[in-house]
Chains A and B, each alone.
Chain A
Amino acid sequence: MSTATATTTTTTIANGKITPLYILSALVEDKPGVLFRVTNLFRARNFNIESITVGSTEQADLSRMTITTKSDEKTLDQLVKQLKKLIDVVEVKVLDTGNTVYRELALIKMRAGDPTTRMEITNFASIFRANILDIGKETIIVELTGTPDKIDAFKNLVDHYGITQLARTGVSALPRGVEV
């Protein structure tokens, strides 16, 4: 079963139930309407998706979709099977997060009118290996790459300065080593 080898990265506990986060990697045809078909499937079958990223791959006519979802194993199994059933979906894998590199990029704009705040944020950014992309009179924009956990942690750290805008890309992922 596709879920057997999957391990999870983060778990959230809601209503006493542990819901693991899974990362799925799908190769899909690069043509109009494919993203629509995939997202429509999620809606029609009540699958809950945390994030979805789509981009080009090493093959010109294929795109890679990285999908993160918090679900139980039964739902995950159905999600994988229903995705595979789509004709435009060429391959679906549940990534073993223990053997996968995965990253998300976030752009965070904060209020930073006074020099102390700027200094603090710059310090935090350096600890988190984030980049300062822009500093204006009132605001500062930080670019941070990492696992969703790391981005969450940074966000919590700077939240009280006043985040005015935030954009996260969702997770992109690749398994380590040679594919078998």
Chain B
Amino acid sequence: MVEMTGAKALICALEKEGVDVVFGLPGGANLPIYDALVDASALRHILVRHEQSAAHMADGYARIKRKAGVCFATSGPGATNLVTGIATAYSDSSPIVAVTGQVQSSMIGKDAFQETDIIGVANPCTKYAFQPRTASEIPETVKKSFYIAESGRPGPVLIDIPKDVQQESADMTFPELIKVRGYNPVVDADLSQIGKAEQILLKAERPIIMAGGGVILSGAFSELQALSELLMIPVVTTFKGKGAFPENHPLAMGPIGMHGHAEANKIILEADCIVAVGARFSDRSVGRFDEFGKGMNIIHMDVDPAEIGKNKSVDVAVIGDVRSSLRTLIKMLPKKIVRNDTDTPWMKRRKELIDYYAEALKDYSRELTAKKALKKLREILPANAITTTEVGQCQMWTSLHFDVISPGTFFSSTGLGTMGFGFPASIGAKAARPVVPVVDIAGDGSFNMTENSLAVSVLDNLPVIVFLMNNYMLGMVAQWQRTFYNRRYMGVHQHNCPDYTKIAEAYGAQGIKVQSLEELEKAIKSALKTEVATVIDIPIDPEEDVYPFVAPGTGLKDMVTGA
């Protein structure tokens, strides 16, 4: 046992968890924590300009590092500013540990200055929220927080520490192992269920794998690829699962969903068996729950038992870590699999669909379109580069036109759809893996929301590339107003304000405006070489739509391929 303050114990406990960086912003109620940070030389603190970005950075860090990211904020508005970032992480099952200061214990419930019931606010969007009432609880609370955040289906955990608890001295014991009664995240998959899945798969004539974000979270890349190749099963992904499977692989069909690849949306309707791996059948992926998968055998593998039957009733449920479930399934398959035949009707159909849509889907004739810009980016970026996106048209164009080659190098705010996520999250990703290029594929609407993270990128030497597809519009909203509201535009015009290259320069970053594909190529190459963040401002026609499109409330069969 060692005597120290609660604040010091927090820092020690974080260091014991292997935390090397925290993203945060100080205030009145977390000053003791910041004072303890002064002496913590191994812990890098990255000062943000808005707490929302701190949570997004911790999230981006977590998605690449595959361990919890940490963010700090003070009480009241500091804590509530974190909430969008926490909710984003919750929607996408990303592990973050958010530490907020709280007013001192005696003031709680007195409507004190900068007091918010952040436990109450955060409850619906965290896996758990702690409020230690004595300093001696802090080491165990931190240990539990990381355990809960990182295990099972990952997610955010909040620790709200009253100021007096940060200041209080106590004898501290740092536990090595922790058990949480009522929380048993590790379950071994039921072998009989895996056996059933195997039987269905071997009998299926038109099987398809639908890979979700769970594949990325559990790092089941090689297992997924092995299953697909062994049985010659085409792979579609959800948007969250984009990059779970190399998108240049012959069996890759790309993401399904509202703006999925046309061939992916088509082929999944023709399948007789779907293996959903770490996917949750979200409305954006499957359209109508009642129509999707009708008459097909559905095998659902997921670590979260509550996902089974939530949106879709399934034939076989394999509950457990998808990586270990896939391994077991592969081991069960007959030793000699003879399915390397690309001549089956199913493989021919697959090829037919890909070829058909490659021809049928026309790009706009202009020199610079979102599709051409993204193809150019892919051409130049190394395969191991990390890409993320903002939300809206830029995100859906990425889904359609940017192939993720190296598994696990892509992520986006897919569940909550948080505009402003991509840029700070890319900075977090850069902190997790500084040696590879990191690109935020952005739109002007989203980038506007958290552009002040340029200061962080520049000052903390975390250079990322903002690939800004600028159509002077909240483009996706404009597209919906065009499509569903008879072009009655309202509240969508951004009028190319501000000038994004000047914004970049004002923060000490590089800003490049391009007008042609040739200039774009030069700009990307320059951005890859330079040591500071680069904003590449790429003009996109405001009338450019994202197609194919499955309108909300309709099924994948109702996909529209053009205006």
Partners in one complex: yes
A interface vs B, CB < 8 Å?
Answer: 28-29, 33, 36-37, 40, 44, 74, 77-78, 81-82, 84-91
> A87 near B148 (CB under 8 angstroms)?
yes
Q: What's the minimum C-beta distance from B417 to chain A, rounded to whole angstroms?
A: 18
Report which residue of B124, B182, B313 has the largest number of chain A beta carbons within 10 angstroms of its beta carbon. Answer: B182
CA distance A133 to B130 in the complex (A): 44
B321 at the interface (CB under 8 A from A): no
Q: Which of B253-261, B302-310, B399-407, B446-454 contacts A (4 or more CB under 8 A)?
A: B302-310
In the complex, the answer to whether B124 meets A29 with C-beta atoms within 8 Å is no
Contacts of B127 in A (CB 8 A): 87
Report the nearest A residue to B309, measured CB to CB. A77
Q: Which residue of chain A is the closest to B304 with respect to CB atoms?
A: A85
Contact residues in A for B124 (Cβ distance below 8 Å): 40, 44
Q: Please pick, from B148, B182, B309, the residue contacting A29 in the complex, using a CB distance under 8 A.
A: B182
Chain B residues with Cβ under 8 A from A77's Cβ?
A: 309
- Chain A nearest CB, measured from B318 CB (Å): 15
**What is the interface residue range for chain B against chain A?**
10 to 19
A78's contact among B119, B148, B306, by CB below 8 Å, is which?
A: B306
Q: Which residue of A lies closest to B180 (CB)?
A: A87
A90 cross-chain contacts in B, Cβ below 8 A: 181-182
Dominant secondary structure at the A interface: helix
Known: A29-B181, A29-B182, A88-B182. A82 touches B306 (CB 8 A): yes
Is the CB of B183 closer than 8 A to any CB of chain A?
yes
Can you list 6 contacts pairing A with B, beta carbon distance less than 8 Å? A29-B182, A36-B123, A74-B313, A84-B305, A84-B306, A87-B182
Q: Is the CB of A33 within 8 A of B181?
A: no
A88 to B304, CA, bound (A): 17
* A86 surroundings in chain B (CB, below 8 A): 182
| In contact, B306 and A36 (Cβ under 8 angstroms) | no
Residues on A with C-beta less than 8 A from B305 are: 81, 84-85
Q: Once the chains bind, are A36 and B309 in contact (CB under 8 Å)? A: no
CB pair B310–A78 under 8 Å, yes or no, is yes
Residue on A with the closest CB to B144? Answer: A87
- Given contacts A78-B306, A84-B306, A90-B182, list 14 more A-B pairs with CB under 8 A: A29-B181, A33-B119, A36-B120, A40-B124, A74-B309, A74-B313, A78-B310, A81-B306, A81-B310, A82-B306, A85-B306, A87-B127, A87-B183, A90-B181
Task: Decide yes or no: A37 and B148 within 8 Å by CB, A29-B182, A78-B306, A87-B180 being known contacts.
Answer: no
- Of B182, B306, B309, B313, the contact of A89 (CB 8 Å cutoff): B182
List A contacts of B304 (CB < 8 A): 85
